[in-house]
Amino acid sequence: MMECKEFTCIACPRGCRLVVTVDDGVASVSGNACPKGATYGAQEAVQPMRTLTTTVTVEGSSRRRLPVRSSADLPLSRILDAMAALDPIVVRLPMRRGDIVVPDLLGLGVDIIATDNLAAPTSGVAQDADP
Amino acid sequence: MIHSVDTDIVVLGAGPAGLAAACAALEAGARVLVLEREDRLGGILKQCIHDGFGLVRYHERLSGPEYALRDVDRLERLGAQVMQEAFVSSTRRVDNGFELTCVDRGGVFAVRALALILATGCRERTDRQVFVQGDRPAGIYTAGLAQYMINIQGVLPGRRAVILGSGDIGLIMARRMTLEGMDVVAAHEVKPEPSGLSRNIHQCLEDYGIPLELSSTVTAVHGTKRVERVTVASVDGSMRPIAGTEHDIPCDTLILSVGLIPENELAQSLGVPLDPATKGPFVDQTMHTLVDGIFSCGNAVHVNDLADYVSESGEHAGASAARYVARRRDAPVTGMATRTLVPVRVDQGFLYAVPQYIDTSTLTDAVMYFRARRTMPSGAVVTAEAGGKTCFKASYPLVRPPEMERFVIPHDTLMGALAARRDDEGLGLRMEAR
């Protein structure tokens, strides 16, 4: 069975208009200006994959959120599940960019990693006053 | 007697433009002081947690904070003098440069410098700058403010949002609010085509089934304490609402993504002439404004679509300010060579082009940025010429006003063409349909 799909490539800001033909599970991509587009188009036709970027709660700092992202793309269909799984996560400082916040999220084979540096709060502030 | 700091170059603003400018100037051997109004460096990148930054500059897909940290780390390695939570309250020219009166947590202080780099970025257009009737209850936010609330403060701006405009920040926020559990009803764009990048329409709206209503706008806001609903209507070719097409959408939040304007209050106070087309200073290819010793870069000059190009212009401004300072130190004030500026003249096909002038007394290549006035679906051919000599020609498969284009004219080619020009002629840029 032959199937033809059209997408905007999201691999870079250029936004090429891709036409992807899937014939018997084999995808051929046209309209791409670079090899990234071919990879993206072939994947997009079968199972769209996305990088997740979001924030998690920080404990005991005036900085309330730590920005994070997935270490690799995950299925678009699992993005909302991933958000739900990250909702209860609370991190303690310090955190450095690249630190793993959640390993192997939902068994998807991707880690959630910090994308910013957050120093531990300086002393003198009651950090854990609430029981 | 107030405390006074002496330096070569003051960089105003530590977003991507200011950070790159400061680093480049330090690397070229100048003394640099960076003044930043916030308590952290990085500018708007701090709250841009989404990825897609750095593809041009680093060939990597970075989030905003990751992109900013690269320059912050570089600045630290170079040992820059940085003052945070610092504001400029007044400026004046002095014999040998500029004197700024500044305020920080320690009080008032003066800064003397030979050159200034204005890297003040841009600001969002607000509800006061677009024509929307009705009430002004709580619940109307610019996209950037909503982004700050969610990504920095960790609070949601509301539960059910309508977006006015289709700028990139609005599209990014449509996705962000959806991921955080808000209901995003639709994005309404008054123009017949979206103003954001195509990839953001795909990955921020289409991925989440959020409709984009083109030639449609919010005509009124209703609500007493909080937004209760908005009226939307289709618009005609002149962007006027069409009677009979209005309908109300219940919502508690209206997000505005209706454009960005370069921030140039400080530039104006220093008498720096601004280009009405960009709303930023006129600059030459070294990012030198028309006022001697004042440089500008990034979104203060013109609103870019990519942080990578903001940084690029910062690098140019920093390097050329350092060269300027070195010349200034070597020559007595009266002995400074004056610049020879040739205007860049664009035809009707362009919304604008930056730089607006070429300084023929410097040896740098010209990196040109431009936007097309109209979408040209079959593409466009752009040529640059002077004295009947073409010094650049390129074909673009598609040009759209929202997508900035960039090209480089090497120095020797440029000078060859400019040498052949007649006296009153500039460098002419032409755009023709393919």
| Same structural domain, A66 and A81 | yes
Mean pLDDT of B142-164: 97
Are the C-beta atoms of residues B36 and B18 closer than 8 Å to each other? yes
**Same domain? A71 vs A20:** no
Is residue A128 a part of any domain in this protein? no
pLDDT at A126: 45
| pLDDT computed for residue B121 by the predictor | 98
| CATH code of the region B126-258 | 3.50.50.60
Q: Which amino acid would we find at residue B64? A: G
pLDDT digits (tens, 9 = 90+) for A77-109: 999 999 999 999 999 999 999 999 999 999 999
Q: Which two tokens stand for residue B368?
A: 């040109």
Residue A57: which CATH number? 3.10.530.10
Q: Would you say residue A61 lies in a domain?
A: yes
Residue A130 lies in a domain: no
Cβ of B54 under 8 Å from any chain A Cβ? no
What are the beta bridge partners of residue B161? B184, B253
Nearest chain B residue to A58 by CA distance is B154
Relative to beta strand A65-70, strand A112-114 is antiparallel
Interatomic CA distance for residues A112 and A97, integer angstroms: 11
**CB-CB under 8 Å, B61 with A67:** no
* Residue B68 host element (H or E): helix B64-78
How far away is chain B from the Cα of A105, in angstroms, using its nearest Cα? 16
- Residue A68 shares a structural domain with residue A104: yes
Q: Is residue A57 domain-shared with residue A27, that is, in the same domain?
A: no
Cβ-defined contact of A65 to B65 (cutoff 8 Å): no
Contact assignment for B198 to A57 by CB distance below 8 Å: no
H/E stretch holding B20 reads helix B16-27
Residues A58 and A110 in one domain: yes
Please indicate whether, in this complex, the C-beta atoms of B199 and A8 are within 8 angstroms of each other. Answer: yes
User: Which of the four pLDDT bands, split at 50, 70 and 90, describes residue B335?
Assistant: low
Q: Which helix (H) or strand (E) holds B357?
A: strand B357-359
Region B204-211: mean pLDDT is 97
Element spanning B319, H or E: helix B307-330
Distance CA B281, CA B273 (A): 6
Instruction: Write the CATH number of the domain with boundaries B1-125+260-338.
Output: 3.50.50.60
ipTM of the complex: 0.90
pLDDT digits (tens, 9 = 90+) for A19-42: 888 888 788 888 888 888 888 888
A5 pLDDT band, cuts 50/70/90, is confident
Q: Does the residue A58 lie in any domain?
A: yes
Q: Tell me whether residue A21 is in a domain.
A: yes
What pLDDT is recorded for position A130?
A: 42
- The third-level CATH classification (topology) of the domain covering B340-434 is Immunoglobulin-like (2.60.40)
pLDDT at A129: 41
**C-alpha A67: how far from its chain's center?**
11
Å between B315 CA and nearest CA of chain A: 21
Task: Give the structural domain span for A26.
Answer: 2-46
Contact yes or no for B151 and A67 at CB 8 A: yes
Inter-chain touch B61–A51, beta carbons under 8 Å: yes
In a domain? residue A104: yes
Q: What's the pTM value of the predicted model, to 2 decimals?
A: 0.93
Q: How close, in Å, is residue A79 to chain B by CA atoms?
A: 8
Lowest pLDDT segment from A22-36, B30-44, B216-230, B247-261: A22-36
Domain count, chain A: 2
* pLDDT of residue B378 exceeding 70: yes
SS3 state at B100: strand
Higher-pLDDT residue of B305, B184: B184
Checking if the pLDDT of B417 tops 50, the result is: yes
Write the pLDDT tens digit of every residue in B291-331: 999 999 999 999 999 999 999 999 999 999 999 999 988 77
Selected for mutation to probe chain A from B44, B49, B175, B310 (highest A CB count within 10 Å) is: B49
Distance of residue B94 Cα from the nearest chain A Cα, in angstroms: 41
Q: Give the CA-trace dihedral at A52, A10, B150, B137, to 10 degrees.
A: -150
> Cα dist. A11→A39, A51, B75, B181, B212 in Å?
9, 11, 29, 26, 22
Q: Please give the residue that has the higher pLDDT: either B421 or B75.
A: B75
pLDDT at B17 exceeding the cut of 90: yes
Q: Where in chain B is the domain with CATH 3.50.50.60?
A: 1-125+260-338, 126-258
